[in-house]
Amino acid sequence: MKTMRQKTPLKVVPKSAIKSRGNSGNSLVKDPVQVYCRVRPPPCDSDLTCLRVTDPHTVVLTPPQIAINFKVANLKETQYMFKRVFDVSVRQHDVYLTVAQPLVEALVRGRNGLLFTYGVTGSGKTYTMTGDLQHRGIMPRCLDSLFRTIADFQAKKYTFKSDRLNGFDILSEAEILLERQLELNGKLTKSSRKKDLDQEVASQASVDPSEISGIDEDNIYAVFINYVEVYNNSVYDLLEESTIQKTLQSKMVREDSNHNMFVHGVTEVEVKSVEEALELFQVGQKRKRMGHTILNAESSRSHSVFTIRLVQAPVDLQGENVVQDRNALTISQLSLVDLAGSERTNRTGNTGQRLREAGNINNSLMTLRTCLEILRENQQTGGAKKVPYRDSKITHLFKNYFDGEGQVRMIVCVNPRAEDYDETAQVMKFAEMTQDVQIARPTPMKVDVGLTPGRRKANQLFKLAMNEVADKYQLSPFVSETNSDPTEIDLGLVYSLEPFRVDMKLGSPESDELIRKLCEILRLRIQKRKLLGDDFNARQNRFRMNLHKLETENLSLQTNNTAMKGVVEQKQQKIKALENKVELYESTIDDLNRRNRQLEEKVLTLQTQLNQKTQLLNQKEQEKERQRKKFTSKIAVETEKKSRELEQKLMEQRSKHEDEIREKDKRLRLVSEIVQGTPIPRGRSSSVDRDMPKMETTPNVKSLVSAYSTPIASRPGTAVSNARHRRSRSAGERWLEHRAVNPVPLGTILQPYYNNSKSVTKLSDKDVVNHKATKYCLISQDADTEGELETKLFKGDVIPTSGGGAQVVFNDVEFLKQYSPTKTPPSRKRSSNFVTPSAPPLAEIQNTNSKCSTGIEGHAAVTQNKRSKH
Ligand SMILES: Nc1ncnc2c1ncn2[C@@H]1O[C@H](COP(=O)(O)OP(=O)(O)OP(=O)(O)O)[C@@H](O)[C@H]1O
């Protein structure tokens, strides 16, 4: 008789009670981000360096002379402290042991981890993370340690399957078979590429042995990997089969129900060994290069994210099969990120596509920096500033590490050569700041299924013992007759009618006694048989009742199940609809972000253009103004020159004309004397004579010149002796002052003074005649050639004419001028703010004479007005 296999009394603790991920992390204990610094050897021995390691926690950065701000900013030596500094002598294995092994241990214990390398281009990030054939990096070592540790507890068959929503399904045997068939039908063609990679992977796989502690032996483990790259702010799946032929398809970053970020629809491949994992990594690497060729960029200028996901499921009571419950799974992940190198674009001399790429890389690194700065600020000040994770895909992917729970570690890679100083200083500042960011300490994620710990080991021991027993007792009465398998032992309650041991020999003297004993035994047997029959019937009845109960329960469960299935289906449809919506919104957000970026760039370009145009316009305006001034002054000078020339010509013609008239008059007089015998007296009223007195009384140019030149030429500097400078105070003088409407106030100490005067701005004949003025003074104000104010006083005598009018005969000009003492006076020896005018040049005297020698007679209003403007 074979006993029924006991079902495990599954007791799954609700997930929400066990997993306190997501934003609940705020109240938990927090640890700072651990930052390590690795210094690579200088590329050439002759390279100047700017960095030295002073102890295992400190580096000192010394500004070299080639630093950008070396001279201006007075740069000083700076010391940076980190959790640990690895100098050039530290081996890859030691870096792995210190930084990454604790993360693998945490992974096995169900905790998430993130490790990223950060630094300037060529500082050794890829070397540290991946390494080369001789010096394996962190990633192959993590895989190696993990597989060494879980080797004995790995799922031997496909039991888990990624559900593409950041979770896993546990597949039944039938489903596994179906999967296998699909695989055989050629849906998965891994083997075709295997040969090419075998050699490469074989060498990658052999690393220093290193096992980790913390394994739970009551679990079955499965390892999945996914590998993506973030390039131009888009996420590309490097393990997707279709990637080979098609152009790369960008993937969405989404958040699952536990607030973990994941790449939606990413290919997750279950790997059974380090070799398999590395093979896939190499495939990804090749696709990455291919992708870049498609996008016309050869260098690996992207962020690589290699994620190891570990799924753990508890074993059942027998220690062999997985507990078939999704909620009993523990899923943890370790992301190994090789960030693209930060660089100063003007140093690399990149242009076009490369420059844009560098811009993108720097943008995403800048976003990472901004996120960490705001996070730190929020933590230190208790603020709630929005952390812009969504601004870049790489920070969006890291969101749940910084916001939720998980260990975050960073390795800052540094190239010590002097040329990198400026970028290295930036990297160091960022790294130092990152150490202040606190991350919630992950709580253990162990799922309690209510089973006794150590059952797997106990089961193995039990089996071993049974095998030994089976070997020893080949024909053991304990071995079931119906079962050929010696290990299948009936451990149930044995009801037996004891062995019939009586030795019966009839006809002997003890026969009676024997028969009596036999009767007794038979009676007991009958009794026992009855007892067993009753017991059997009772058990049968109990069993029947139980069966009936079970069937009833089963029926109600089936009904419930059908109802639940309907509900689940509805919910799944709802979820699907919501997911579609989310996808739509996310693509819209991405679109809007892209458009926003484009518009911002356009605005910037337009702004620059506008500024340039405004500058050009201003320059043109200034040039125009300069030209205008230049031409105005030129015109003024030219006009002045021309008018003087014209007046000069007029004067010459007039004097010529007068000479001719005088000659004619002389001849006429001679002719008349000859004809009449009497001389014609001078001053007769002929048209010629009428003009003559005016001409004769007006001092001609020569007399004026002699009046000016004689005293100055003979006795320079003795102008006081000149009769013209004697100001007559005789009572009979009446002055008529003729000045502009709004004269510029004279700042001179010496002011024109008239004893008995009348001031007019517009001269009329009445002013001259009725006022009985004897003296006339015309005040003219003008700018001299150096821009100084020059006041000229043209003075003359008012002489009544025979026609009843009056004429002004100009006979004196006074100048009033001021000069700045700091300015060299123009060819004057006397330095004073009062300059005595010397004799004006001949041209000016003639000019003035021509202006002034016109008498005020005949009441020519136009002439008077013109004169008043002088
Ligand atoms: N610690 C080290 N010891 C010896 N060689 C190193 C070390 N670090 C880096 N190198 C060498 O320096 C070169 C550049 O390193 P690597 O490619 O890792 O730089 P990177 O920071 O990843 O650059 P990028 O940002 O451009 O990808 C490689 O040839 C690598 O072998």
DSSP letters, 90-122, are: --HHHHIIIIIHHHHHHHHTT--EEEEEEEBTT
Q: Does the residue 351 lie in any domain?
A: yes
CA 20/CA 30 separation, integer angstroms? 14
Nearest to 270 by CA among 410, 198, 168: 168
d(CA 107, CA 219): 14
The residue whose CA has the least distance to atom 10 of ligand 1 is: 124
Write down how long the chain is: 870
3-state DSSP assignment of residue 645: helix
* Ligand 1 pocket check for 42: Cβ under 6 Å: no
Predicted pLDDT at 708: 38
Q: Which of 40, 302, 343 to mutate to test the pocket of ligand 1 (most atoms within 8 A of CB)?
A: 40
Name the residue among 287, 164, 280 with its Cα closest to residue 231. Answer: 287
Intervals of the chain under pLDDT 50: 1-27, 186-197, 243, 293, 295-300, 345-358, 475-484, 486-495, 683-721, 727-730, 827-842, 845, 848-870
pLDDT of residue 9: 34
Distance 138 CA to ligand 1 centre (A): 14
For residue 62, the domain's CATH number is 3.40.850.10
Q: Is 131 annotated as a binding residue?
A: no
* 120 labeled binding residue: yes
Which residue's CA is the closest to the ligand 1 atom numbered 2?
A: 40
The answer for residues whose C-beta is within 8 angstroms of residue 324's C-beta and 6 or more apart is 170, 172
Domain membership flag for residue 143? yes
Best substitution site from 126, 133, 410 to test ligand 1's pocket, by max atoms within 8 Å of Cβ?
126
Per-residue tokens: 805: 């009018």
CA separation for the pair 228, 251 (Å, rounded): 9
Tokens representing residue 744 in the block: 């510029």
Quick one: pLDDT at residue 406?
79
Query: Does 122 show up as a binding residue in the annotation?
Result: yes
Query: Is the CB of residue 442 below 6 angstroms from any atom belonging to ligand 1?
Result: no
| Class of residue 449 by CB neighbours under 10 A (exposed 0-12, middle 13-18, buried 19+) | buried
126 is in an annotated binding site: yes
For residue 793, the domain's CATH number is 2.60.40.4330
In a domain, 235, yes or no: yes
SS3 823: coil
Contact 781, 767 (CB under 8 A): no
Cβ(137) – ligand 1 distance below 6 Å: no
Q: Which atom of ligand 1 is nearest to the CA of 90?
A: 1
Query: Last residue of some domain: 405, 440, 475?
Result: 440
In a domain, 358, yes or no: yes
Cβ–ligand 1 distance for 126 under 6 Å, the answer yes
- Beta strand 735-738 pairing with 757-760: parallel
CB 159 within 8 A of CB 171: yes
Beta bridge partners of 737: 759, 777
Q: Is 124 annotated as a binding residue?
A: yes
Structural domain count, the chain:
2
Give the H/E segment covering residue 60.
strand 58-61
Does 809 map to a domain? Answer: yes
What is the pLDDT, as a whole number, of residue 247?
A: 62
Q: Residue 48 falls within a domain, yes or no?
A: yes
Could you say which of 802, 817, 832 is where a domain stops? 817
Compute and round to an integer the Cα radius of gyration of the chain: 59
Centroid of ligand 1 to alpha carbon of 413 (angstroms): 9
**What pLDDT, on a 0 to 100 scale, did the predictor assign at position 486?**
45
Q: Domain range holding 774?
A: 763-817
Are the C-beta atoms of residues 336 and 306 closer than 8 Å to each other?
yes
Q: Which single residue is written with the structure tokens 């990297």?
A: 427
Q: What is the pTM of this model?
A: 0.53
Whether 192 is covered by a domain: the verdict is no
Paired strand residues for 799? 807
Tokens of 694: 């005016």
Predicted local confidence at residue 102, as pLDDT: 92
Name the CA dihedral angle for 633, 847, 716, 754, rounded to a multiple of 10 degrees: -90
Token pair recorded at residue 372: 């960490």
What is residue 760's predicted lDDT score, i.e. its pLDDT? 86
Tell me the CA–centroid distance for residue 302 and ligand 1, in Å: 15
Burial 338-363 (b: 16+ CB within 10 A, else e): bbbbbbebeeeebeeebeebbebbbe
Nearest residue (by CA) to ligand 1, atom 14, is: 122
pLDDT given at position 405? 73
Distance 236 CA to ligand 1 centre (A): 24
∠ CA(51), CA(57), CA(59), 5° rounding? Answer: 10
DSSP annotation of 249 reads P
341 labeled binding residue:
no
> Can you tell me the distance from the alpha carbon of 234 to that of 291, in angstroms, rounded to the nearest whole number?
12
Is residue 118 domain-resident?
Answer: yes
Question: Does 858 count as an annotated binding residue?
Answer: no
Q: Is the CB of 125 under 6 A from ligand 1?
A: yes
What are the backbone dihedrals phi and psi of residue 2, each rounded to the nearest 5 degrees, phi first? -105, 130
Domain limit, last residue, from 440, 459, 482: 440
Ligand 1 atom with the smallest distance to the CA of 39 is: 1
Ligand 1 within 6 A of 122 CB?
A: yes
Distance 132 CA to ligand 1 centre (A): 10
Is 121 a known ligand-binding residue? Answer: yes
Three-state secondary-structure class, residue 384: coil
Number of H helices, E strands in the chain: 19, 24
Q: Which atom of ligand 1 is nearest to the CA of 340?
A: 25
